[in-house]
Structure 1
Amino acid sequence: MLTDEMKEAIEKNLVFVATASSDGTPNVVPIGFTRPIDNKRILIVDVFMKKTLNNLEENPRVSLIVQNAKEHPYQFKGTAKVFKSGKFFEEAVEWAQNVMSEVEPKSAILVTIEEIYSVKPGPDAGKRIK
């Protein structure tokens, strides 16, 4: 599902993550520690999340968009699973602490991508890509 260009865009840019509580209250946050781990899944490191984490516990649906949407015009939608221990959590901690030794990740969030949409201005805006 994720192309090499999409993976690179996710890994090299700030990513905005949108969630909603069970009553539909939206929340969007910028995340610096986001990277694809294969063609269908994205790993997000939770360092400072509060509302986002609460929302994911109530409603695992999530949407992501890369900061540089002009060059990388994609919206990714999927389902998230939160890990506070185990392989994905350990991978997230190691990655984050290799970049910034002082961070203390609280959890790892694994997003399985189910849909990808174009956010490129023009006639294809909002069109489903995959």
Structure 2
Amino acid sequence: MSMTNEMMDAIEKDLVFLATATEDGIPNVVPIGFARPLDEDTILIADNYMNKSRKNLEKNPWISLVTKDSQKNPFQFKGKVEIFESGKYFDTVTEWGQNAMTKLTPKAAILMKVEEIYSIQPGPEAGKKIE
């Protein structure tokens, strides 16, 4: 399943919530402001302030990302990541940080390959995998 335009807009236009887990399965969830879809199958995330999340991803590359907008159909994306501290993905997130009012300097770029997508709209379809 590839992301639709609606899904990609939901990621780009608001905060998303990023879930990771330790090797032992202890969860961690954080809000992320710098996440953007690169295409229908890939999301680029800036590591500006990650501590626990980054340590988790270095040991366990599985990630889950949830969109925030409850007025529309919120989504959950699951997949694996690669971490880049240099190169084109890192350059892209660095550019985002420099263009932001806060002048952030990211520590890394996290590239997520979307493998599963779920609807998390409240109601009878909540948690249903989107095919």
Range of TM-score over shorter length: over 0.9
SS of residue paired to 1:37: strand
Instruction: Please tell me whether residue 34 in structure 1 is matched to residue 35 in structure 2.
Output: yes
Instruction: Report the 3-state secondary structure (helix = DSSP H, G, I; strand = E; otherwise coil) of the residue aligned with 2:115.
Output: strand
TM-score by length of 2: 0.95
Q: Root-mean-square deviation (CA), in Å?
A: 1.0
Q: Give the unaligned 5+ runs of structure 1.
A: none
Whether contact under 8 Å (2:67, 2:76) holds in the other structure is yes
How many residues are aligned here? 130
Deviation at 1:101, TM superposition (A): 5.3
TM-score (norm 1): 0.96
1:110 corresponds to:
111
Cα deviation, residue 63, structure 1: 0.3
- What residue is the counterpart of 1:85 in the other structure? 86
Q: Percent identity?
A: 55
2:25 counterpart residue number: 24
Give the whole-Å Cα distance in 1 for the aligned partners of 2:49 and 2:73.
26
Q: Deviations over 1:41-63 (max 9, x none)?
A: 00000100000000000100000
4+ long deviations beyond 4 Å:
none
CA contact (8 A) 2:90 2:108 kept: yes
Structure 2: how far apart are the matches of 1:82 and 1:69? 30
